Structure 1
């Protein structure tokens, strides 16, 4: 049975799970620099293998961003995305100041999951924007 823990994944397993879950590939250099700066991080492991993850990044007070919600294809549609989000939401409610702005970018139909946790579309009042290097 998979186990969910508050931990930061290793760089190689993080990068592999992102690709397996059809998220964009990240370089080893980027993962090595970024992972250690996680504000909160959740891993789901089955017999030690990383099968799910999620992170929150940001300054810890004013602005936080939910990122890297990923579940390995064989484990999708079994509730792990919701369990990962709940663990991250528990960390937010326990540690983040009441006035913190928490955001995320929802790919495809993932917005349905995030709406269950209180996230709402920002348009038309605001529009998410992004740039990739």
Structure 2
């Protein structure tokens, strides 16, 4: 069974898993800057290989954002996404202030997973917006 640990992935394996899981590519420079500023990070490994990950970024008090939920294609639909989310939720409940605002952007049908952890759609009261540089 794959091993889940609270850890930050190495830059190269982070970049590789993002692309393999269908997320956008990130530069090494961006990954180096971003990974070291994670508020919480989870890695799932099988025989040392990174097969799943997830992170929380933010200021640690007021606003937190769940990002980088990614599972290698061969391991998808086996419950790893839920294990990653549960570990991140455990960190939120243990460390974040009760008034923290926690958000995420769900790709495709991933909103079904996030609903199981208490996330709700922000519309119509609010609308998620984004900008890519």
Task: Give the TM-score range, shorter chain.
Answer: over 0.9
2:70 is the counterpart of 1:70: yes
Partner Cα separation in structure 1 for residue 69 and residue 34 of structure 2: 15
In the alignment, which residue of structure 2 is the partner of 1:40?
40
In the TM superposition, structure 1's runs of 4+ consecutive aligned residues that sit over 4 Å from their partners are: none
* Deviations, residues 28-69 of structure 1 (Å, cap 9, x unaligned): 000000000000000000000000000000000000000000
Structure 1 gaps, min length 5: none
In the alignment, which residue of structure 2 is the partner of 1:22?
22
SS of 2:112's partner is helix
How much has 1:85 moved relative to structure 2?
A: 0.1
SS of 1:41's partner is strand
Q: Number of aligned pairs?
A: 133
How much has 1:102 moved relative to structure 2?
A: 0.1
SS of 1:87's partner is helix
SS of 1:67's partner is strand
2:51 is the counterpart of 1:51: yes
SS of 2:67's partner is strand
SS of 1:90's partner is helix
How much has 1:107 moved relative to structure 2?
A: 0.2
SS of 2:92's partner is helix
TM-score by length of 2: 1.00
In the alignment, which residue of structure 1 is the partner of 2:112?
112
In the alignment, which residue of structure 1 is the partner of 2:99?
99
